Each structure stands twice: as C-alpha cells, then as structure tokens.
Amino acid sequence: MCGIIGYTGRQNAIPKITAGLSVLEYRGYDSAGLAAAGNGRITTIKCCGRVKDLEEKLRQTEEIITTCAIGHTRWATHGGVTDRNAHPHTVGYVTLVHNGIIENEKEWRERLTLDGYHFSSETDTEVAAALLNRAYQKTKDPLQAIYGVLEILRGSYAFAMIFADRTDEIYAVRQDSPLLIAQGEDGCYLASDLTALVSYASTYCVPDEGVVVRLNQDGIFLCYKDGTQKEPIYQQSGMQHAAAERGGYDTFMKKEICEQPQALRAALNGREAEGLPDFSINALPTDFFDNVHRIHIVACGSAMHAGLLGARLLERDTGIPTTIFIASEYRYHMPPKEEGTLLIAISQSGETADTLAALRAAKARGIPVLAIVNAENTAIAREAAHVLYTHAGPEIAVATTKGYCTQVALLWMISLFLSNRRKTIAQDTIKERLAFLKESAPKAISAVIARESELSHIAERLDGHDRLFYIGRGRDYALAAEGSLKLKEISYVHSEAYAAGELKHGTISLIEPGTPVIAFCTEDALAEKMLSNVREVASRGASVTVLCKASLSSLFLQSAVVFPLDCENDETAVFAMMTAMQLIAYETARRRGCDVDKPRNLAKSVTVE
C-alpha cells in the first residue's frame, strides 16, 4: 500500500526523495513525509495530503541539505489521516518508515505502555520503532537490534530505518512487502517499486525476506543474522524512464488507456509457434496443463473481473470446469481438494496480499499455481510454479486499464492453448482466433479511442446522477462488472453490475424515471434476451444506453441511445467494449472534477489483508 524510498550517497538527498515519492504516490496519498540525517541529528518533515503539500512545507522550512534520507507516502491502515500518524516515526534513536501491517501491534502497544512509553500516534509503525529503540539502547548494534525485534513481530513489513548516531547509513528489511535496492552512480537507493528507481539505476535487486540490508557510502550490503555479509546480485531493469512519465497526456490513466494496443501486442508477442499459442518462451512445459481437470482462478478487483471473463472462455472452449474466487475469501472457504486442480493467480502488481495468501494456501495443499502478473520478480511471481508476465509496462494510475486488458488477453491465450492440446477446437479456428487477438483487437481498441468525443456524450447523460446500473449477459456481464467498478473507482458514482436476467428478481424495484442504465450486448445468441431486459427497464422510465455490436444496433434503437461497436468477431468485441467502458468512466470522472489517477481512499498495490 504505502510507498517508501531511501537514498544515501554523494548528492543532496531531498530532491531525490521528493521525486521518488511523487512517482510512488499511487501507492498511497493520505500523507507524506521524509527524514533527513545530518550534522548528528535527524530532521523530520511530514504532513497530511499529497507529496505537493510536503514540498510546499519544505519550501517554508529552512533549506535542508543532506546526503542521507528516507521518505514515505501513506495509505492509512492503523490510525486516521492526521499529521501525527504520518510517517516517518521517531522513537529515541530510531527513525522509521513502514509499508505493511504489524498484526500483534495491540499486544506490544499495551506492554510498552505498561513499561512507561507514551505513544504519540495511533500507528503500528510507532510500536515497531519503540521496540527497535528499546533493543538498540541495549545493544548499540543495529543488526542485533533489528534481528531481535523481527523475532517478535508478526505481520507484513518493509522497513527503512535511520539511527540517530549513524546518520550516514540506512537499514532496511522486508517480510511479505515489496522492497528493491539499487546502486546508482551517485549513491545507494531503496524503494517499494522499480518506477522510483529507474531514473537513477539500470539494475536492481530484491533482497530475500528477513535479510537486513545496510546502505552507506561504501555501497549496499546484505547482512545476515550470523554476522556474515555479502553484496547483492543485481539484475537488469527493462523499464525505461519515460514509461513512468505522462508523456504529454493530461493523466496517467488516459495515457494507459491509449497504450492498450501496444500493451496487448506485447502480451502476445513471442507466445506463438506456427500460428498456434506457445508458452515455451516462458519455460512453461508443453504438458503442464495435460493433467488439469479443474481450474480455480483467484484474484481481487479488476483482476477478478478478468478472471470472470477468462473462466467463461476456458469453460466454453476447453470444457474444463473453471471457478473464479475472490482471493480474500478463498483460503477461508477452500473447496474440497480434487486431483488435477490448477490454481491461476492474477495480480497486476504481483504483491496483492490476499492473492498471495490464497496462492500459499493452495501450495500448502499441493495444488500447482500459475501466476499472471505484470511486475517482474514480485512475491507472487517468485512463489508460483510458473509465471506468465503480461508485459503491460508500468501502470501508474490507480484504476487499472492496460493491466486488465493484458490479463484478459493472456487468459484468452491460455484457453486457446488448452483447446489445441485437448483438441476441443479445430486448429484452423484456433489460428484464426489468435490472429484476431494479435491483429484485429488492437485496431478495435484504437478505433474506440478515436471516438472518445461520442463516449463523452454518454458520460454527459450521467450528469446529476449518483447511482446507475450496468447490465449484460454472458461475457457481457463479466465486462459490465469491470465497467461498473471502473466508474465507481474514479467518479464516485454508485454503480452496480447485474446479470441482466437478475434485475427482475428484486433489483428492478430501484428503477425509477431517469435512472441511468448502461447495457452491453456483443453476443448474437443473447441479443433478443438483452432486448427484453432493455425494454423492461426502459418501460419503467430508465434512461438506457446500449453499447453493442454494430450489427445489433437496430434492435435497440427504439428503446435506448445506442453506441455501435464495429466488431467482426468475439475478440474485437471484447476489447472494443472494455475500452469504451474505460473511457465512459474516465470522461464521467473528469466532468465531475475527480482526480482520475489518484481516487480517494484507494491505493494501487494492496499489500495488506
């Protein structure tokens, strides 16, 4: 959730910390702060609000020059959004920033209070700082103190720490939370995400969980509990600096919507042999799926909606029973284990805590796991038996667009691959569908983007309304679920998605004159049923907008405003529809004056359960 960054080196750390926090702000933007070490003391500046508010506070403060600093941008978990709950937190010798959750915080808060400690914040982070300070006062050895405290903490964390009497070095450690380290030409860096490091270093390392890292003027060292240390082994970063910038677009979300044609091609590139799906480039054994008789898909949010669509494709094309599970529920009510079960875990960030927990629960039962993620070398990618990267590139806007797009694409490719292995679809048909995915679908996305002004008129129809419904049948219901979420996320309009046939089983009572309803229809076999559902809500006064294949538009013209999609096949229909629903949400949010990149109460990477 939260974002942390640290630097120690030969240059002024403050501009590096604030620039890194700006990049990491999608991980949380309730408050921001930094701690600067120098002249035998640590200066902390922090406040509620965005990084720009922190920068304004810095401008009003006497200039700080330091070569060693840590920073934090917060998504509130323990404690409300207040200045005193903002990070960094200082207790005695220890100044600390933290991403994660300390699960036994209450126990240690009570014990420390009985020992006479008075807490100034509501955060679990201050409890960790107090424990570290107590240990350090006894040992005067940072490594011994840190390892001692790690033995008594439960939860997830990425800590970056400065000790008041060691103001030229930073200590860091992680457990079930992301943390990367990098050696640049001008010093040493740590951060929650590669996007904050790409401007300063071309290589990076993900330290093992529970291993303390020390960064100082001499370099970066992995320091083990037995007293040994070694230098990290770095890997090349494939990310370009420009990928983490807006590139002339007003918002990251708009940029990422427009990047979907390239992202879709990148997701499929290299995964084909003789016109058929092939995952050998990913070191996925050809026979990996041969003994699969049931598939569980676990994911959260938009990734879960991608899974909902993928499950329909897999069952339709392969005949394999496929069930989608909300990741946060999976391990608390796991279905009976059956031989031949495969778990597919989907996560854009590769660090989603609920999905990671579900993955581990499945592995503990001997269920093999295939991961679909975007961010490389993340926890889910490392712990799965095999991983397929979406190659969507950095996604900075909190609401996913190209991440969702590429997840759907890979699930579709898996379905085609399995169809070929199981001979449930003729090879010529599989080749044709894969060609549509690679060639026609990106063009369909671009065609919808070119019609943004028309979609803006649909958004205009939502003006003045605070609730609406999305409806669809079959795969269109799966798409409607994502369209509804996208609208809620960034415009704060209360929206619900329903399988269209379910409306009359209770929810239609909420339809009154003027209620907006957005209906999706891309399946010919379901068009007449959808027409009946559209007429049901229109007859009760709903203001209906239908997004459908152009060939079906005449069906709905008398009952609704129609946005026809030029779709020649299933593949173009799905990707055109997802782009249209993203742009409707985007335009609605913009009309309402919302911050589309950083919607309230949300963070990009959910690393706490």
- Tokens 């079960």 belong to 341
Rounded Cα–Cα distance for residues 128 and 116 (Å): 16
Using the 8-state DSSP alphabet, how is residue 473 labeled?
Answer: S
Catalytic residue among 16, 402, 598, 604: 604
Distance linking the first and last C-alpha atoms of the chain: 10
Tokens (6 digits) for 456: 């803006």
Catalytic residue among 2, 48, 188, 405: 2
How would DSSP label each residue in 103-167?
TTHHHHHHHHHHTT---SSS-HHHHHHHHHHHHHHHH--HHHHHHHHHTT--EEEEEEEEETTEE
Which segments of 286-336 are extended strands (E)? 294-299, 322-326
The beta strand positions in 154-209, using DSSP E, are 155-163, 166-175, 180-184, 187-191, 203-204
Of the candidates 77, 70, 25, the one whose C-alpha atom is nearest the C-alpha of residue 50 is 25
Residue 598 falls in the annotated catalytic set: no
* CA 105 to each of CA 81, 122, 123, 149, 174: distance values in angstroms, whole numbers, following the listed order: 18, 10, 9, 12, 17
Residue 509 and residue 542 in contact, taking contact as beta carbons nearer than 8 Å: no
Q: Which two three-digit tokens encode residue 84?
A: 């005193």
d(CA 561, CA 601): 33
- Written in H, E and C, the secondary structure of 255-283 is HHHHCHHHHHHHHHCCCEECCEECCHHHC
190 secondary structure, DSSP code = E
Query: What are the C-alpha distances in Å from 434 to residues 272, 311, 388?
Result: 9, 18, 17
Q: Residue 509 has what DSSP assignment?
A: G
Nearest CA among 328, 256, 575, 605 for reference residue 441 = 575
Provide the residue type at 144 as one letter. Q
Element (H, E) at 94: strand 94-102
Q: Which residue has the tokens 């996560």?
A: 347
Q: Any idea which residue has 């778990």 for tokens?
A: 343
588: left (phi > 0), else alpha (psi -120 to 50), else beta? alpha
Alpha-carbon span 281 to 283, nearest angstrom:
6
Strands 467-472 and 166-175: unpaired
Peptide bond into 88 cis (omega under 30): yes
Neighbours of 513 (CB within 10 A): 8
CA distance 189 to 332: 38
For residue 382, count other CB atoms closer than 10 A to its CB: 13
In three-state secondary structure terms, 196 is helix
Provide the Cα torsion 318, 320, 324, 327; round to 10°: -110
* 604 counts as catalytic: yes
Residues annotated as part of the active site = 2, 604
